[in-house]
């Protein structure tokens, strides 16, 4: 999945019409071992075709095809000989563009819907049941397929819920095959890729590593790079990948900014260096970060401060690394970061999406950065990053770690960040992680942020006396890629043990609460 250059040839393009599931479609294509990229619907068709795509998928979207200003595409996309698969809005756009009929006839369907397959042996539905459950989300409905298309499925209220044109390799379904609620959706998607588009499923983790190594070598050349290690999966895999590509030209810098979890520094110094053999420079910058964050409570401001200070520390590390090596300053020209695709999307760097938050690896960097960024994971999802880490031989303790944000515990303290509050949160977080591991839940829970409501106090009773302490929030979530998430239904006895230990062992905490909000509407992190 090359990040340099950002676009790979012969990809399956997912055209995003503002769908909440566009990223999920790209993931599902990749799960079928076919490389995919997301492009905005505003991209001219000529530019899409210039990428030499193996196929094109048109996503769903919130608009009606008849609404003023609704996104559209030139007819050329359906006449270029490239296989096209329309989903939901993309299906209706294909229908209307090619002469079919889409009506606002009140045939609205939302959620699980029974689908009847009328041509069981078709390209899309071969080997799937005649009756199956699919996930619908539409107001308008297709009442007539374009000329040359065969209707292959319907519902009780929609006469044309799927159509196919094998001669022109054009296919469409009214529902969302990419979501797990469509029981045979992945099979239908793979039928389009393998049978309709004739694509071989040969995109593997091994290929990803080889392609990225070549891309990194082409970008960096004979110059040198530094990489900031955070202790998390993303930076570790990015560093290991760059180390494999350029060897001793890479120096890793671990900034001990005082915002890490308990035992984090020791793990980076011991486990990661042992696994990769990288050159590691540890910088003690705790006082610097605490001074910069003093009096700051706004989460966006905290993120930007942490991002700015990281770069300043890296710049100083560059000077020291050059001095130690006896090289010229300009030789250290690159900064390696573990930016992932969800980071890019949530920072407003995807396909026109809103900026949800400034990310330490994306939106929090200062404008006067002196390094050129190397981001080998920029187009990957978290589970793909873990697979790359395994391919590179990183130990399970690193590859399977729960995600941890770049700004660290600084954004898990709601309020001002102080050393006392960090120590308190570190102790509570360590207890939660210990108990989750002891209960064997590490693989069942995607992430469990532990949050300190520093500016909130609640009344409690401890030791027969009244207390006025801080609440701690547990935020266990399940997810595939952090784009969406649901709160994890943890066993009550595990929750009880965590709560009891935290209130007993962590000073100034007298209450533990559970966050049961999904994403959306809430983000995984509180700040």
Say if residue 471 is preceded by a cis peptide, omega within 30 of 0.
no
Q: What confidence tier does 267 reach under pLDDT thresholds 50, 70, 90?
A: confident
Give the pLDDT of residue 108.
Answer: 64
- Which member of 109, 138, 142, 176 is catalytic? 176
Give the pLDDT of residue 442.
Answer: 85
Measured N-to-C along each axis, helices 382-391 and 205-220 cross at an angle, to the nearest 10 degrees, of 90
Q: Is the pLDDT at 401 greater than 90, yes or no?
A: no
Q: Is the pLDDT at 508 greater than 50, yes or no?
A: yes
Q: Is the pLDDT at 261 greater than 80, yes or no?
A: yes
Helical (H) or strand (E) element with 70: none
Range 302-306 average pLDDT: 93
- Which member of 88, 142, 227, 252 is catalytic? 88
- Is residue 190 part of the annotated active site? The answer reads no
Q: Is the pLDDT at 427 greater than 90, yes or no?
A: yes
Strand 477-478 and strand 458-462: pairing?
unpaired
Partners of 58 in beta bridges: 15, 86
Per-residue pLDDT tens digits for 70-119: 888 999 999 999 999 999 899 999 999 999 888 876 666 666 888 899 98
Give the pLDDT of residue 324.
Answer: 75
- Is residue 178 part of the annotated active site? The answer reads yes
Range 456-463 average pLDDT: 74
Q: Among 46-50, 361-365, 435-439, which stretch is predicted with the lowest mean pLDDT?
A: 361-365
DSSP codes, 76-137: HHHHSS--EEEETHHHHHHHHHTT-EEE-SS--EEEEEEEEES-TTSTTTTTS-SEEEEEEE
Give the pLDDT of residue 211.
Answer: 87
Question: 156 — phi, psi (to 5°)?
Answer: -60, -30
Residues 144, 136 contacting (CB under 8 angstroms): no
**More confident of the two residues 435 and 65:** 435
Q: What confidence tier does 246 reach under pLDDT thresholds 50, 70, 90?
A: very high
Give the pLDDT of residue 226.
Answer: 87
Q: Is the pLDDT at 455 greater than 60, yes or no?
A: yes
Average of per-residue pLDDT values in the chain: 85
Q: How many helices (H) does the chain have, and how many strands (E)?
A: 16, 22
**More confident of the two residues 364 and 495:** 495
Q: What confidence tier does 291 reach under pLDDT thresholds 50, 70, 90?
A: very high
Q: Which residues are CB-contacts of 52 (< 8 A; sequence separation ≥ 6)? A: 9, 10
Q: Is the pLDDT at 503 greater than 90, yes or no?
A: yes
Give the pLDDT of residue 397.
Answer: 78
- Which member of 109, 164, 178, 391 is catalytic? 178
Q: Is the pLDDT at 479 greater than 50, yes or no?
A: yes
Q: Among 65-69, 342-346, 411-415, 441-445, which stretch is predicted with the lowest mean pLDDT?
A: 342-346
Helical (H) or strand (E) element with 167: none
Range 353-363 average pLDDT: 40
Q: What is the largest CA-CA distance in the chain?
A: 81
Q: Is the pLDDT at 483 greater than 90, yes or no?
A: no
Sign of CA dihedral 212, 218, 221, 227: negative
- Is residue 142 part of the annotated active site? The answer reads no
């Amino acid at each position: 999945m090359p990040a340099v250059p950002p676009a790979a040839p012969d990809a399956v393009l997912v055209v995003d019409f503002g769908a909440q599931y566009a990223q999920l479609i790209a993931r599902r294509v990749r799960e079928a071992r076919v490389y995919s990229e997301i492009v905005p619907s505003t991209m001219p068709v000529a530019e899409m075709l210039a990428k030499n795509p193996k196929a094109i998928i048109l996503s769903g979207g919130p608009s009606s095809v008849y609404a003023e200003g609704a996104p559209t595409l030139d007819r050329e996309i359906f006449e270029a000989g490239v296989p096209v698969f329309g989903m939901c809005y993309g299906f209706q756009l294909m229908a209307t563009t090619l002469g079919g009929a889409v009506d606002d006839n009140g045939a609205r369907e939302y959620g699980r819907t029974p689908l009847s397959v009328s041509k069981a042996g078709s390209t899309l539905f071969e080997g799937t049941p005649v009756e199956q459950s699919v996930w619908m989300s539409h107001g308008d409905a297709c009442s007539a397929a374009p000329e040359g298309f065969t209707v292959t499925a319907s519902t009780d209220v929609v006469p044309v819920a799927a159509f196919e044109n094998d001669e022109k390799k054009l296919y469409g379904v009214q529902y969302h095959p990419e979501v797990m609620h469509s029981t045979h959706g992945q099979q239908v998607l793979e039928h389009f890729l393998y049978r309709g588009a004739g694509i071989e499923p040969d995109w593997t983790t091994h290929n990803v590593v080889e392609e990225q190594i070549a891309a990194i070598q082409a970008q960096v050349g004979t110059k040198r790079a530094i990489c900031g290690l955070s202790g998390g999966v993303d930076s570790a895999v990015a560093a290991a990948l760059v180390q494999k590509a350029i060897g001793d030209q890479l120096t890793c810098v671990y900034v001990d900014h005082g915002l890490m979890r308990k035992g984090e520094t020791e793990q980076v110094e011991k486990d990661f260096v042992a696994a990769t053999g990288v050159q590691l420079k540890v910088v003690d910058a705790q006082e610097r970060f605490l001074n910069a964050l003093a009096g700051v409570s706004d989460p966006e401001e905290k993120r930007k401060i942490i991002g700015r200070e990281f770069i300043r520390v890296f710049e100083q590390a560059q000077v020291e690394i050059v001095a130690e090596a006896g090289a010229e300053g300009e030789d250290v020209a690159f900064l390696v970061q573990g930016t992932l695709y969800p980071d890019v999307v949530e920072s407003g760097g995807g396909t026109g999406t809103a900026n949800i938050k400034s990310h330490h690896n994306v939106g929090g960097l200062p404008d006067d950065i002196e390094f050129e960024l190397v981001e080998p994971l920029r187009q990957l999802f978290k589970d793909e990053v873990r697979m790359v880490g395994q391919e590179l031989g990183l130990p399970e303790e690193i590859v399977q770690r729960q995600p941890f944000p770049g700004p660290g515990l600084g954004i898990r303290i709601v309020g001002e960040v102080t050393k006392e509050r960090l120590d308190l949160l570190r102790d509570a977080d360590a207890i939660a992680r210990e108990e989750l591991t002891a209960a064997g839940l590490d693989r069942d829970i995607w992430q469990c942020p532990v949050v300190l409501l520093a500016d909130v106090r609640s009344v409690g009773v401890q030791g027969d006396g009244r207390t006025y302490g801080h609440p701690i929030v547990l935020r266990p979530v399940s997810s595939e890629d952090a784009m969406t998430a649901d709160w994890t239904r943890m066993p009550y006895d595990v929750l009880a043990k965590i709560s009891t230990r935290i209130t007993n062992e962590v000073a100034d905490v007298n209450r533990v609460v559970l966050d049961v909000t999904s994403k959306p509407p809430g983000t995984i992190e509180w700040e």
